[in-house]
Structure 1
Amino acid sequence: MIELLEGRFIKTFIVVMEEKSFSRAADKLGYVQSTVTTHIQLLEQVCKQKLFHRLSRGVKPTAAGEKLLKYAYQFVQLGATIEDAMNEMEQPRGTVYLRMQESFFLTRFSSFMQHFGKEYPEVKLRISSGFHQDILDQVLEHAIDFGILPRDPKRNDIVFYPLVEEKLIFIASNTLMMDVETEGVSRLNKEILISFGSICLYHTHASKALKEAGIQVKDAIELPSLEMIKQSVACGIGFALVPEVAVQHELDAGTFKVLPLCPESYSMHGLIVHKNRELSHPARLVKSELIKPSALNTRM
């Protein structure tokens, strides 16, 4: 089979999987749609399997297509690794793909990226945002080089490198804090918990801490960004559990107050990588720089 595979067919297959449409894949790749169709047909001939169900609107992968995806990512990554190896004799260059929570990027990684970019200008960092499970899934599928998670997934096929411990705090508006000081923490039973949703481990932390405190909030709101959560808390819509570093400026300015809920919560963020992934030279540089003790603590 290997002598019949072409890298462009594999790349086209990956984009069709991601876009769930031949036409959108063609637009993204700069092809006409017939070229995408031909690439997939030839790949299906090589695999001797149908890879997509053609629907009225887009396509859906078959079981064979789903199975091929992991190996397609590995195929593309191997090609990038070979190219990077050839470039190691010169200045390191290449692309490294990472996925992390938005709040971690804003509070920790953006400064690291700026510093790293000055040291290695030919290494491009491609960052996407997500939450625990989808970050883990992308690492397991070899779709990305690294993920950054707020806790160790404790899997035999994943290597976890501790990076930085974050203190998690419940924040509230000044008005809500005054009510809590007057009525006690039971006042929170009448309030709304604001979070990224149940897919985020911060939500899990919050639910556990509130349960231990005997609090059952009346409702919860899911918001997609840290800034939206902060604005909602500031407006008095509810309260939220966030990394302390993410709201330090607002705490110093008196915009938020820390709710007196015990015990304190901490989250150990770490870099994850598939144990069988062959890291490119640029990826090894990213890892070595990130796991330095001062990498994320001093550039905030």
Structure 2
Amino acid sequence: MDIRDLTIFVAVAEELNITKAAKRLDYAQSNVTSRIQILETELGTTLFYRHQRGVTLTPSGELLLEYARKILHLCNEVKTSLQDHSKPKGPLRIGSMETTAAVRLPEILHEFRKNCPDVDLFLQTGPTEELIQSVLSYKLDGAFVAGPVNHPDIFQAGIVDEELVLVSNSWKSMREYLYKIRKSTLLVFREGCTYRSRLEQWLRAEGLIPEKTIEFDTLEAMLGCVTAGVGIALLPLSVIERSDLRGFISYHPISERYSRVTTIFIRRADTVMTPALTRFLWITKSLFSVQFGSTPTNHEGKAR
């Protein structure tokens, strides 16, 4: 098998469209089609089902995708390991939960860019479950997620403890608080978000079932809707304390069983620690330990 053919195969498998894969690789579409056919002939199996909307992986294609990602990752590791390690360079792909990206990462990224200007940094945000799968499939070198993560192929390190609080645009009393929850719309990130899971678990335990749910992809949109009175959300207290909207948002603690969560950094246990990733983690741990300690509270009121 040719490494180039595996690269083309992975691109088609991820895009599920030959035209999009060709554009991503800057290849002619006919070249991509030809290389896939050559790979199928060499392996003696069909890798894709073809249809009008694009392509879909066959069972053989699913199996090859798993191996192809490992092979390509190992090839990149070989190149990295043989390079001069005196100065970090090359790509670094980091994932993060939306809230961590908004509150915790800006200073880390600022320091990293100053220290490692030759590293090409890529950041992907998303819910914890999605980020874990991206790390396991070698799409990301590491990610900030809500822990713990129980997987034999994952190495994890605790970064910071967070307190989750229920957030609304206004609450004046406990009676109004409980009433609003029952009548409110839940504002949540998409499925796979640990904060969403914690909120739903707490609501079920308390017998509080809101009427509607709205999903968001960005923290900014969610906070804007909280401020406008669209609904309620469960977010880290650190997000509220650092938000420009903190004077317009109220928060209330929930049961400690559901409110405590640790942000961890994960990576595959079988990957080589590149100079870029090593430096990124060193900067992360330095900044979190000095400036990013958790600030738990046990009161309700206007966020300050």
TM-score, normalised with respect to structure 1: 0.89
Q: Per-residue displacement from partner, 1:102-134 (whole Å, max 9, x unpaired)?
A: 221111123211111111111222111221222
Cα-Cα RMSD = 2.2
1:101 is aligned, of 97, 101, 106, to 97
User: 1:1-300, aligned counterparts within 5 Å?
Assistant: 5-174=1-170, 177-178=171-172, 180-181=173-174, 183-250=176-243, 253-263=246-256, 265-290=259-284, 292-295=285-288, 298=291
Offset of residue 297 of structure 1? 5.5
* Contact 1:97–1:144, Cα closer than 8 Å, also in 2: yes
Q: Which amino acid aligns with 1:28?
A: R
Q: Matched residue of 2:248: which SS?
A: coil
Q: Which moved more, 1:234-243 or 1:245-254?
A: 245-254
- Structure 2: stretches of 5+ with no match in the other structure: 294-304
Task: Return 5+ residue gaps in structure 1 as ranges.
Answer: none
State the Cα distance separating 1:181 from its structure 2 match. Answer: 4.3
* One-letter amino acid matched to 2:268: H
Structure 1 residue 299 displacement after superposition: 6.8
Q: Give the Cα–Cα distance (whole angstroms) in 1 for the partners of residues 118 and 250 of structure 2.
A: 43
Partner-residue secondary structure (3-state), 1:75: helix
Q: Is the 8 A contact 1:20 1:58 kept in 2?
A: yes
Q: Could you tell which deviates more after superposition, 9-18 or 274-283?
A: 274-283
> 1:258 is aligned with what amino acid?
Y
Bigger shift: 181-190 or 192-201?
Answer: 181-190
Which secondary structure does the structure 1 equivalent of 2:279 belong to? helix
- Aligned identity (percent) is 25
- Cα deviation for residue 6 of structure 1 reads 2.1
Amino acid at match of 1:34: S
Which residue pairs with 2:297 in the alignment?
A: none
Structure 1 runs (4+) greater than 4 angstroms displaced: 250-253
Separation in 2 of the partners of 1:250 and 1:85? 42
- Specify the SS of the correspondent of 2:46: coil
Letter in 1 for 2:194: L
Instruction: Give the number of equivalent residue pairs.
Output: 292
Specify the SS of the correspondent of 1:77. Answer: helix
